[in-house]
Amino acid sequence: MSWTEKTHPTPFDNLPLPGLFFIDGDILARLIQRNWTAGQKLPMVAFPSGQEFELWETSNPKQADRAHLR
């Protein structure tokens, strides 16, 4: 999944997923002095190893039970 408007729900919003967090595009826009992330959010997951990765939504419901881990 890529950046999504903060007002639009994502499939991850209400999941009881340990390590789930969202990057706040408004804060990032201020930090990097660019506006393309303003009003956006990016779903991420942090693993116990300390690795953090984007969460991607699939348009194929048959693949919804799969996870790609490195």
The pLDDT of residue 70:
53
The pLDDT of residue 40:
94
Going residue by residue through the chain, which has 70 residues, state the pLDDT in tens, using 9 for 90 and above.
588 899 988 888 887 889 999 999 999 999 999 999 999 999 999 999 999 988 877 666 665 555 555 5
Reported pTM: 0.74
Is 29 buried (19+), middle (13-18) or exposed (0-12) by CB count in 10 A?
A: middle
CA distances from 49 to 34, 45, 70 (A): 31, 11, 11
Place of tokens 């990032």: 28
For residue 28, give both structure tokens: 């990032």
